Every structure is written in C-alpha cells, then in structure tokens.
Structure 1
Amino acid sequence: MEVATATEASAPAASGAAARQNHPFPWLDSAISEPYYFLHLLAFFSYFAARSAALSADDGGELHDRLLRREIQAVLVFLVLFVVKIVKEETWETFLADSLLYAKGLLLAVTLVINYWLTLGYFLGFVVIYAVAQQPPYDGLGHSNHLTPLQLESLLTEEPTSRFWLVEFRTSFSATCIQASSVLPELSNIYSNKNISFGIIDLGHFPNAAAKFGISMWDHLPTYILFDKATEVARFPEVTSESKVFVPKVTKKLLCQHFDLDRRLIEYLST
C-alpha cells in the first residue's frame, strides 16, 4: 500500500516533466511559465529600452563610445565564464543559476556607465526578484519516488522490496538543494534495480523528520543517506566528530563514488 502511495504521489511531477519535454521549445516554455526566469528576462530586456533612452539624450556622442566599449568587455567576460561553466561537471540548474549571477553582475557594471541611479534601480529589482521568485527545481523523477517519512519507514521495515534505499533529504527553499535536484533522478535512471531503490523526502513538508535522521535544516542540505534495510550504512555529507560539515559540490560522480554504486550494481548483476 505504501509503495503504491509513493508512486502515485510522484505521478503528477512525472507527468509535468513529460509534458515539458514534449514541448517543441522546452527552454522557451520554462522562460515564460516560470516566474524566476520570466522576471529575469524582463529585467535584461529592459536594458535595451534604458540604453536607447540614455543614448537619445546624449548630445556629444561620448556616452555611446564608452558604453559600447563596456558592453564589449562585458560580453567577452561572460563568454569566458560561460565556457568555464560548460567545461565543469555541473548540473543544468547550477549552470543556469551561476550564468544568471554573472549576467546580473555584468549588467550592473555596464549600467554604471549610463547612470548610478539606473544601477541602483537594477540592483533593487534583482533583490525583489530574489525575494518573490525562486529558481524551479528539476521536475523529473527518473526511477525515484517522493516519499513521506512514514512511507520510508514502511519501505525499510515492513516491505523490504529492495535491500538498499538511497534517499535524498532536501527542501524547496534551499538554493543548494534546487541546484542538485537533478542528481538523484539521473542516478536512479542508471542504478535503479531490485536491489537498490531511490527516494526523495522534502523536509520543508516534514521538518520533524530532520531531527530523527540527524540532519540540520541549515547546513546539512541536501543530505543523502544509504539504508541497508532499516540500517543507515553511509551518508553524504559526512559529519565529523567536531559536528562540522564539509560539503563539496554534489555531482553524480561524487555520489556514485561515495556510495560505491558501481560495485552494488555489479553485485546485483552477478547474482
């Protein structure tokens, strides 16, 4: 019963992801439908209007030359940072978040040539966007399921259909969780089998579960715990004896090595 409930709970998200993938231009659909991206697009496109107004009021033409030089410099810097981000092994959500951060910083630098008040206006605008809109997480589930703490307990004890469960604990208001939200679903597509299953618990909906699993809502998220039946055998990030957490950036390669998923898959295939 609990397995069916978990699967049914993940169905809306899975259908939403499928619908978005079937859209002929999924990036355009996200840019229009997601307030986070739409508001950023409005802010960036408004620069052209502000630029035209400033140049039309410039009589000597000096502003045009200085602004053009600054724009060229900004574009070149952005392209260099863009290439660096592509080379690194990162999630699409991290790539978008960092690219927008670079673009906003460079836009503020360019508007300084036009008017300090315009720069301040854009800065305040980006602060408002940050306050009212949130970057959407990855909406695919792969072969993972959204679970409640009660469902997880049932799956680990009453119905041990899988020996291992790799569970991600996250919240929807954490930027780090959002940027790592595609890692577990993609791992589940590769490693999910009858021996290991994957689940996601949103601690924003079940905050009491954080203490139960020894997770801090402030500096431990996202946390990944590997259960062997009802026993925790490994977690990431690891908590040291000084109760400090060292958290490198979450990637598929990092989690695969940390939880030794290749070996577990080989053991399953050899049985």
Structure 2
Amino acid sequence: MAFKDDLKTLLKPYYWINILMSFSYLLAKKMPVVCSYTFPKSDVLCELDGRESEILLLTLIVVMIRSRKSGSLTMINYITASFMYCKVANLVLWTYADIRTGILYAVLFLVLAIWIPEPTYNGPSNVVYFRTAVSLEDEISRNKYITWLICFYTTWNPSCANFAPIFAQLSAEYGLNNLKFGKIDVGRYPDAAKKFEISDASTSKQLPTLILFKNGEEVLRRPTFDVKGKVIRFFFTADNIKAVFDLNNLYKIAANKTNNIAKFKIKDTSDRKLN
C-alpha cells in the first residue's frame, strides 16, 4: 500500500517536473534527436566527456550521503531529498556546455520553484502547536492526567520535514482528550530548545526530537545520548514511534480512562434524577 501511495504521489506535477529537471542534461545527451539539436558543436556527439561523468558521479555520492543523513527512508523522501543536489548539478552541466543554456536552466529552475512548490501534507491531523517554552510547560502541568507527545522541530531541517506527515497521521490515529500530540518550532522559539536541552544548530543531530510527558514530567525522548554524550541515531518512522513510545498501550489506557469518566458522569446524572 505504501508503495502504491508513493506512485500516486509521484504523479503530482511537482514530482514529475522535478524528476525531468534532475535528469534533463543526461536525457538530452542520451536522446540522439535532442542531442544533435542541443549540442550541434559537440566533438563527441551524444557522449559524456570525463568532466561531465565526474560531476554526475559526485552528485550521486552526495545524494546518497545527504539522503541517509536526513533520515529519508521512503521512496518519496529519497527522491525529494535528491532534487536540489541533482538540479544544481544540472545547472553546472548546462553552464559547462553553454552559458546560454545554463542561464535558461537557472531561470526555469527559479520559475518552477515559485509556481510549483513542494506539496504539503493536507490529511487528518490532531496536533496542538505551541509558541513558547512557557506555554508548553503551562499546558503540560495544567492537567497532569493528560499524556503529551511533543515534537521539537525546525522548518528548515529535512528530517523534520520528512517526519511532519508521519506525526500528523499518528496524532489523528492516536489522539484523545487525555492523549495529545503537540509541536513547537525551536527555530522560531529557541527558548524551548534551551529549556529542554535540544540543539537547534544547523548541524544538530537532535532534530526532530520527540519527548513523552506523563503526569507533567518527561519520561522518554528520542533521540537520546550514549554514555559518551553522543546522539544515538533514531529513525523517525511510524512503526518505530509506535514501538518505542508504546502508543498502542498508551491509547488503550487513555481510552479506558475516558470511558470510565463517561460512565461515571452517566451514573452520577442518573442518581441525581432518581433523587
């Protein structure tokens, strides 16, 4: 099902247009009709020279390394993470071939970035957004019967962007009145990062960070640190979140509490009517 969903997602204009942009130079070189028109003065018609091959190989290595570091696990995440590097490489290649084609590609690059932005998640969500560490602490301590799962994130971090739809889906699936999901942007509100000891630097390996609060206190977080103080890598997949934070059990406990409170209210109302 996930693979089929990814294929449907790839049909959206943003993805197939960016895929074409990412492979534009290679396609132009390998399609004889296009190649003879685009590179009429090429010494070796429709063949990559040594410099072009080096640029493409370097791009492939960078994409693999950066995609892995960003925590990209699904096909869509891998593809999205690679777009920028591939398009920059194509810009270099088109400019290397002819400054005019390089300028044309750059203009097309900018126009498409403005008019066809990356699609955002628009499915069901039950997330509460906080603006300061104080408001977050006040809400967590206000009612200690509520269990909170809070995501600390930044808008510019690729791992946070990849995790956003997963967290939204989990909030819709598991969210209850006494089991809530919240988010706070530590890039905009660094006081929250400082309060909960999360690095918001551009090289931070703590983004995103998930913290589970019970009875107003932190009980679990991911990622965490090893004995040497280094961040232990954590893959933010739905299955990992469910397993580590025991969401199924948390949901059952929260649902039982909700049902018990509802039964008590019904019984109390019935007793009052009888009296």
Normalised TM-score (structure 1): 0.61
- The alignment partner of 2:45 has SS state of helix
Whether the 8 Å contact between 2:24 and 2:90 is mirrored in structure 1 is no
- Partner in structure 2 of residue 169 of structure 1: 152
Aligned AA (1:166): L
Match of 2:195 among 212, 215, 234: 212
Trace 1:219-234 onto structure 2 (pairs within 5 A). 219=204, 220-234=206-220
Give the drift of 1:92.
Answer: 7.1
Q: Looking at both structures, which has the greater relative contact order when contacts are Cα pairs under 8 Å and sequence separation is at least 6? A: 1
Match of 1:266 among 244, 252, 264: 252
Whether the 8 Å contact between 1:171 and 1:202 is mirrored in structure 2 is yes
- Partner in structure 1 of residue 12 of structure 2: 27
Whether the 8 Å contact between 1:165 and 1:197 is mirrored in structure 2 is yes
**In percent, how many aligned pairs have the same letter?**
27
Gap change, CA 1:258 and 1:245, over 3 Å in 2: same
User: How far, CA to CA, are the matches of 2:91 and 2:180 in structure 1?
Assistant: 46
- The alignment partner of 1:180 has SS state of helix
- Partner in structure 1 of residue 135 of structure 2: 151
Aligned AA (2:229): S
User: How far, CA to CA, are the matches of 2:128 and 2:239 in structure 1?
Assistant: 21
**Which sections of structure 1, spanning at least 5 residues, go unmatched?**
1-24, 32-36, 82-88
Aligned AA (1:175): P
Normalised TM-score (structure 2): 0.60
Number of aligned residues = 216
User: How far, CA to CA, are the matches of 1:145 and 1:215 in structure 2?
Assistant: 20
**Which sections of structure 2, spanning at least 5 residues, go unmatched?**
1-9, 65-71, 258-275
User: How far, CA to CA, are the matches of 1:98 and 1:210 in structure 2?
Assistant: 25
Write the deviation string for residues 161-202 of structure 1: whole angstroms up to 9, x where unpaired: x52100000011112211211121111121111331001101
- Partner in structure 2 of residue 12 of structure 1: none
Gap change, CA 1:42 and 1:94, over 3 Å in 2: closer
Give the drift of 1:154.
Answer: 2.3
Give the drift of 1:203.
Answer: 0.9
Query: Over aligned residues, Cα RMSD in angstroms?
Result: 4.6
Which protein has the larger Cα radius of gyration, Structure 1 or Structure 2? Answer: 2
- The alignment partner of 1:198 has SS state of strand
Gap change, CA 1:49 and 1:254, over 3 Å in 2: closer
- The alignment partner of 2:234 has SS state of coil
- Partner in structure 1 of residue 222 of structure 2: 236
Write the deviation string for residues 84-134 of structure 1: whole angstroms up to 9, x where unpaired: xxxxx945762442453685599689x5xx984459959x959x97xx989
